[in-house]
Amino acid sequence: MKTMLESPWVDLRDQLSKTDLAIIPVGASEVYGPHIPNGTDGLAAMALAKKAAEQVPALITPLIPVGYSQRLMDFPGTLSVPSAALKAYLEGIVASLRTHGIRRVMFINGHAGNVPAITELLQELRDKYSMRGAQIDVWRFIQPLSKDVLDSQSYHFGHAGEAMTSVMLHLHPELMMMDRAVKNLPEPKQFPDVITVEPYGKMSDSGILGDATLGTAEKGKLIFERSVARIVEFLKSDEFTTLS
Q: Domains of the chain (ranges plus CATH)?
A: 4-241 (3.40.50.10310)
CA distance 80 to 30: 8
Give residue-wise pLDDT tens across range 29-47.
Answer: 999 999 999 999 999 999 9
The percentage of the chain sitting over the pLDDT mark of 90, rounded to a whole number, equals 86
pLDDT at position 200 over 90: no
DSSP string across 78-115: -----HHHHHHHHHHHHHHHHHTT--EEEEEE--GGGH
pLDDT band at 1 (very low <50, low <70, confident <90, very high): confident
CA distance 77 to 38: 8
Angle at the Cα of 73 from the Cα atoms of 72 and 79, rounded to 5 degrees: 100
* Amino acid 201: pLDDT: 84
| 3-state secondary structure at position 64 | strand
* Residue 242: Cβ-neighbour burial (10 angstroms; 0-12, 13-18, 19+): exposed
Q: Which residues contact 31 (CB under 8 A, 6 or more apart)?
A: 38, 72, 75, 77, 78, 200, 207
* Amino acid 244: pLDDT: 58
107 close to 134: Cβ distance less than 8 angstroms: yes
